[in-house]
Structure 1
């Protein structure tokens, strides 16, 4: 499911992942501390130490398995201690296989847990849980170029114009499209030696290997409408267990008979107006996306292995639809096929997207923001789908209105904001974008993410090294509703959230000195 939620710790949905507590409402100076904050440290450890653990659990079609963590996350950790507008650094101490510690971390102030070059969690917890669930086995080979295939299949529903086929291989953590090189005749129900390429949703192509237990699902979807909602949903499926992708430039044959998938029905009461009412809170310049652009979307997605541990990985979509940004409230009954085992779950979400003309002077370009609501399918269908959370309000940078363009006086400014007017946020995601131009296209503004921060407070100081001299930035702050999950203690659960809501707001352009 490609959810455009902000993700300080990687999540497949984001593309939007395409990006999911039991925290009390927190004031600006409150610490995000659970019961562990006042608990004594383990025997032999100093009162000012912070301890943590890190493990990987891989979800396969045959079940979950613990695996070695070869990602290097622990080695990339450090802690930053705020000292006014500066920070002191504490290095990580590896204490065992999958365990670590930081010493000399004061207990009377939140600290910044830093991973890599630009990912931070602002927290007061003394015990951290960095455990992570990953979809797919170890040792999956990936390649940069599209992998050639040929399709010799029958049993298709009559093809519509410009058909593509979705491909999912959960055991290899693979999901993407088979893009045909030429367009078969409309109405065809079979293909013979039809050339195409596998293109992954993740920007690199996974090599399917039958000897490692990889099962390949090839899926046909078809277009449909329900009132203002236009959507595509799975109707037929082909399961292949004896396929290994070639990496020598030769095409891998995909052959078999597609089978109809039992169709299910779902009725969504989509209160679009409850999202639209918060558009001005996103930013005074926010406008709905044009009819020729991405529209407000509805997605139903499979959850491999069920949702007991959250949504593990991305395995394509059962249904993907959209309404015009100008649509009214929609009550739509949709049909979709689910070819996966009954033990898998289904998660649904809606995403409302807005664009803002935030760019370098004299150029074109926009920056986007979203409001998201997501839940397990049955819970999603049992209530009106409406905004459970509105964007943060009263954004300020060093005490000035952050939704006005400013020249900053410091490269470590203090960002503050007020709570949403609707709902109670458990945590805030702060994402910092640098605006820049390419020499080949000097009239267009590009964006790149330079830092992300998770915090349960309503303020954050940008750490040193994030903002570079004489560069321009935009900051997006997302209020997040994460029932039952404390992301400031277990940040990798962000990648697996089932029940959540997100509402984002943006600053205007901020120029670093």
Structure 2
């Protein structure tokens, strides 16, 4: 049971979250002595209450690879009770990869939890849609900023505190005119920012916030360039509504946006503490972009950051800035004081030479990230807690060199970071394709004592171009036991290194 906490604006601190990997109990259909049981619950968070609803894994794309020297032995899942699956004939103490779609988790536990946290009511019905038409009848907008790039212009986001609904609005038919303060009968499209859209049930109190975000220019960056950030400038908390996102009819959002409560924070962010590690991210890396975000978290942060509820403040700093950002920022917050606040500071580095596949241009990249509750993040100077893995190699050769590897199972190796203690590593093989529909990234999560990964047969495609990114994670994340539940626990400390492009034979 989660304990309710006081509002952050009262100055009282929330209790630190406890990492609890509640592994599945013994199941006679899948004895721990000879088998691996995989279970998944969706844990719905609603106020101080958490309700676990079992998932049915029988139709999910799961597979188990038992490590045997340099080879692998496959196991297929067998459905058992409570929606769980069982992998039988797994030798006791054996290391294995559990594959879920294109993600591989290295483990050896006999009970594996693929459960996830989710915001909202436990009886939420989720649609199959990730977008839905919207009709807007809004007044009280701040004068609309029309701009060629969305980063410079006005934006609208729609967020619910009752179900996991977070969406950005686009305008496929006609863009709002510059200076507009109302939208009457305007057509828009809501695109989910957090998975499939849930069904809204008005009788259960499901409401939506409609937030306008605008760019604010306030002061100068260390280089002297204008300092600009995006924040909420107006909000409508619409009445409860029933709506099913099935493409027809449109969701109607109507009412007056009003001014929002102003809040502030004062980060001490020496950018040079991140840029100095650029050569470890990649020997030829260029500084891409630094970014600071303030994000809301429904109800509180007792369970960490659950779901995604849009943005309150976003500062994007152009690459090359390495001075100190130390000042007070003011931003708009339409949500109750019981909602939590998460701060995130990152610096992304990119390859100086783009990779062209077909007519598509790709830029390999890697980032360093520090994320925590906002009050904790800004209580001291924001510096990397962990640095990138060192000496990245592919088949024993420097990974910064473009090459064709000898097989679809290249050996990727690295060494531990100069600073920080990793709890785990993530190894991503990112395919660089000519089409937007090309295969997704293949990810491997391994324990901190592993500093080498070779993909099982079939994980990578022949005749394809990839780059590999290895991320050291110094958080409480435990991917070998309960990856979905522990990924939300704060704080989060990550740092990545990435390779040059390589091609499989």
Counterpart of 2:303 in structure 1 is 309
Cα distance change on mapping 1:203 and 1:279 into 2, 3 Å: same
Once residues 238 and 47 of structure 2 are traced to their aligned partners in structure 1, the CA distance between those partners, rounded to angstroms, is 14
**SS class of match (1:503):** strand
Match of 1:219 among 200, 211, 215: 211
Alignment check: 8 A CA contact 2:193 2:308 kept: no
Cα distance change on mapping 1:404 and 1:279 into 2, 3 Å: same
Report the alpha carbon displacement of residue 172 of structure 1 after superposing the two structures with TM.
Answer: 3.6
Counterpart of 1:350 in structure 2 is 345
Is 1:455 the counterpart of 2:439? The answer is: no
Counterpart of 1:174 in structure 2 is 165
Once residues 361 and 148 of structure 1 are traced to their aligned partners in structure 2, the CA distance between those partners, rounded to angstroms, is 37
**Which stretches of structure 1, 4 residues or longer, exceed 6 Å deviation after superposition?**
40-44
Is 1:104 the counterpart of 2:89? The answer is: yes
Alignment check: 8 A CA contact 2:168 2:190 kept: yes
TM-score (norm 2): 0.82
Is 1:466 the counterpart of 2:459? The answer is: yes
Once residues 84 and 251 of structure 2 are traced to their aligned partners in structure 1, the CA distance between those partners, rounded to angstroms, is 43
- Matches of residues 80-159 of structure 1 in structure 2 within 5 Å? 80-116=65-101, 118-137=102-121, 138-143=124-129, 146-154=132-140, 156-159=141-144
Report the alpha carbon displacement of residue 273 of structure 1 after superposing the two structures with TM.
Answer: 0.6
Report the alpha carbon displacement of residue 427 of structure 1 after superposing the two structures with TM.
Answer: 0.6
Cα distance change on mapping 1:494 and 1:43 into 2, 3 Å: closer
Instruction: List per-residue Cα deviations over 1:148-187 (Å, max 9, x = no partner).
Output: 3122323x4444445332211243422122345333452x
Is 1:278 the counterpart of 2:277? The answer is: yes
Alignment check: 8 A CA contact 1:233 1:318 kept: yes
Alignment check: 8 A CA contact 2:194 2:308 kept: no
Counterpart of 2:189 in structure 1 is 197
Cα distance change on mapping 1:392 and 1:253 into 2, 3 Å: same
**SS class of match (1:260):** coil
Gaps of 5+ in 1: 1-20, 24-33, 290-294, 439-444
Counterpart of 1:26 in structure 2 is none
Report the alpha carbon displacement of residue 317 of structure 1 after superposing the two structures with TM.
Answer: 0.8
Report the alpha carbon displacement of residue 351 of structure 1 after superposing the two structures with TM.
Answer: 1.9
Report the alpha carbon displacement of residue 208 of structure 1 after superposing the two structures with TM.
Answer: 4.0
Report the alpha carbon displacement of residue 414 of structure 1 after superposing the two structures with TM.
Answer: 2.1
Instruction: List per-residue Cα deviations over 1:123-171 (Å, max 9, x = no partner).
Output: 23233222211234532335465413122323x4444445332211243
Cα distance change on mapping 1:361 and 1:223 into 2, 3 Å: closer
Match of 1:420 among 407, 417, 433: 417
Give the CA RMSD over aligned residues: 3.3
Cα distance change on mapping 1:22 and 1:216 into 2, 3 Å: closer
Alignment check: 8 A CA contact 1:374 1:500 kept: yes
Counterpart of 1:3 in structure 2 is none
Once residues 297 and 342 of structure 1 are traced to their aligned partners in structure 2, the CA distance between those partners, rounded to angstroms, is 25
Bigger Cα displacement from structure 2, 48-57 vs 195-204 = 195-204
**SS class of match (1:97):** helix
Counterpart of 1:53 in structure 2 is 39
Match of 1:380 among 377, 380, 401: 377
Alignment check: 8 A CA contact 1:150 1:251 kept: no
Cα distance change on mapping 1:354 and 1:44 into 2, 3 Å: closer
Report the alpha carbon displacement of residue 353 of structure 1 after superposing the two structures with TM.
Answer: 1.3
Alignment check: 8 A CA contact 1:275 1:387 kept: yes
Alignment check: 8 A CA contact 1:487 1:493 kept: no
Instruction: List per-residue Cα deviations over 1:286-337 (Å, max 9, x = no partner).
Output: 1123xxxxx3111100111212222111110111111122222211311122
Counterpart of 2:149 in structure 1 is none
Counterpart of 1:183 in structure 2 is 176
Once residues 404 and 264 of structure 1 are traced to their aligned partners in structure 2, the CA distance between those partners, rounded to angstroms, is 48
Counterpart of 2:336 in structure 1 is 341
Alignment check: 8 A CA contact 1:389 1:503 kept: yes
Alignment check: 8 A CA contact 2:131 2:192 kept: no
Is 1:501 the counterpart of 2:493? The answer is: yes
Alignment check: 8 A CA contact 1:112 1:123 kept: yes
Once residues 284 and 183 of structure 2 are traced to their aligned partners in structure 1, the CA distance between those partners, rounded to angstroms, is 49
Once residues 79 and 250 of structure 1 are traced to their aligned partners in structure 2, the CA distance between those partners, rounded to angstroms, is 44
- Matches of residues 409-448 of structure 1 in structure 2 within 5 Å? 409-438=406-435, 448=439
Once residues 157 and 75 of structure 1 are traced to their aligned partners in structure 2, the CA distance between those partners, rounded to angstroms, is 46
Once residues 377 and 74 of structure 1 are traced to their aligned partners in structure 2, the CA distance between those partners, rounded to angstroms, is 40
Instruction: List per-residue Cα deviations over 1:408-431 (Å, max 9, x = no partner).
Output: 223222221100111111111111
Once residues 178 and 361 of structure 1 are traced to their aligned partners in structure 2, the CA distance between those partners, rounded to angstroms, is 31
Cα distance change on mapping 1:192 and 1:91 into 2, 3 Å: closer
Instruction: List per-residue Cα deviations over 1:374-400 (Å, max 9, x = no partner).
Output: 011111011111111111111122222
- Matches of residues 485-496 of structure 1 in structure 2 within 5 Å? 485-493=477-485, 495-496=487-488
How many pairs align?
465
Alignment check: 8 A CA contact 1:163 1:183 kept: no
Once residues 194 and 79 of structure 1 are traced to their aligned partners in structure 2, the CA distance between those partners, rounded to angstroms, is 50
Counterpart of 2:155 in structure 1 is 164
Alignment check: 8 A CA contact 1:149 1:198 kept: no
TM-score (norm 1): 0.81
